[in-house]
Amino acid sequence: MSIVRFGVSLEKELFEALNNYTSKNQFANRSQAIRHLINNNIVTSKWQCNNTVAGSITLVYDHHKRDLGTRLTRLQHHYHDVILSSQHFHLDSDMCMEIIAVKGKAVILTELADKLIALKGIQHGKLTMSKAD
């Protein structure tokens, strides 16, 4: 991979915002911050264009909720073709966290995540997607 250097002109407010973003996120320099912002934009574009992406669905729930485990498993089996793996964690005596690794079309992953998060008993859920290529 070759590096290309170029100059950028910004309004003072945007320049200050970039400096704040760089230090807040502990980037070594503005170039790394700009690379990160461009990559995030590419990922978001792929997500919105329904490209193939990879990601994770994180769920937090009380495992005592009636039939929740069964409903989670059943729903995941309907989407077996996009689920790579899942890992279950015991946060305490009641609460569990499940992280499901996924890869597929962005719209399908969003559909799966929405259905899982909507299950009665899920206290928190989040889908995170990244580029797969």
Smallest Cα–Cα separation from 102: which of 125, 76, 120? 76
Q: Is 6 domain-assigned?
A: no
DSSP characters for 93-128? SSEEEEEEEEEEEHHHHHHHHHHHHHSTTEEEEEEE
Could you tell me if 102 and 82 are in contact, meaning their C-beta atoms sit under 8 angstroms apart? yes
Q: Looking at residue 91, which CATH number applies to its domain? A: 3.30.70.1150
Q: Is 30 domain-assigned?
A: yes
In a shared domain, residues 98 and 71:
yes
Summarize pLDDT for 74-119 with one digit per residue, the tens.
Answer: 999 999 999 999 999 999 999 999 999 999 998 999 999 999 999 9
Summarize pLDDT for 16-72 with one digit per residue, the tens.
Answer: 999 998 899 888 889 888 888 887 777 677 666 778 899 999 999 998 988 999 999
* Number of domains the chain contains: 2
Where in the sequence is the domain holding 102, given as residue range(s)?
A: 52-131
Residue where the block lists tokens 């490209």: 51
In a shared domain, residues 61 and 16:
no
